[in-house]
Amino acid sequence: MTGYPMDDKTVVITGGNSGIGLETAVALAGMGAKVVLGCRSPKRGAAAVEEIRTRSGNDEVTNHTLDLADLVSVRSFAAEVSGVDRIDVLINNAGLVLDERHETAQGFEATFGTNHIGPFLLTDLLLDQVRAAPAGRIVNLASFGHAFAIGGIKWSDIDRRRKYREWRVYGDSKLANILHAEGLAQRLQGSGAVANSVHPGPVSTNFGREGDTGGWTGKLMELQLGPVRSWVLRTPEEGARTSIHVAASPQAGAVNGGYWSSSRQSRPRPWTRHAGDVDELWTRTERMIAAVS
């Protein structure tokens, strides 16, 4: 992938200790960016810092503990990076899907809470620092999995106490990532900053055990794909290309509110959309956060 000059720029990446996040961090650090990771495990975060420094040749890499399933941790992370004058790129990369219903520290259903509510609050807390950059960017790692959100986000049972179907829950959270980027784009109009969402494609990572599909679901996918796994799934390096493109390329910097796949603009699935969804997401998310603050 062609490198873009990122010298003197600060990039914050959530979940940058493995998979797509790690490869994104290595690439951007290699372009000269100062990289700040937000990883749940201090041990894995420290190991990632050393790997990124070694592979990129850039020592300007640090980690702060961040658990997106705990809004106290989100606020603590934001406070720790508050001394950064500006954030040129914020990449909301971390995510998961769970086979069974779990709850976050504040009692939200864990997939939606970790994939959307935590990143929503984090972005809000860091937004002034993004605006302070000459051309700030926010990149939400979404997924084609948003296609499972048929008819839009199921607000009537957003906590999934009545019925838990993991891929539907995951789809709602990934649709929320797309709508969140669109809402940010509206609020960033005229500021010089932009927000976009990306689909990395099917990627062979620990996703689910650390990112995209977990437990028995991840094992089942491995068994089903079997020997064709390497032909069907992209490597983490390949999966990171769209995130890197949207974070660094001049072309993507001119787009606000887009949805990207394979480093090109694409469109979310139409059966997931309704007029007013962006405002609905914003209002309900703010209400949910306020209720536990």
Catalytic residues: 170
Tokens standing for residue 286: 């703010």
Contacts of 95 (CB under 8 A, 6+ apart): 15, 114, 115, 141, 143, 173, 174, 177, 207, 211, 212
- HSE of 228, CA atoms in CB hemisphere, 13 A: 4
User: What string of DSSP letters covers 135-202?
Assistant: T-EEEEE--GGGGG-TTS--GGGTT-SS---HHHHHHHHHHHHHHHHHHHHHHTTTSS-EEEEEE--S
β-pair type (34-39, 61-65): parallel
For helices 277-291 and 118-131, the axis angle rounded to 10 degrees is 100
What gap in Å lies between CA 133 and CA 192, rounded to an integer?
8
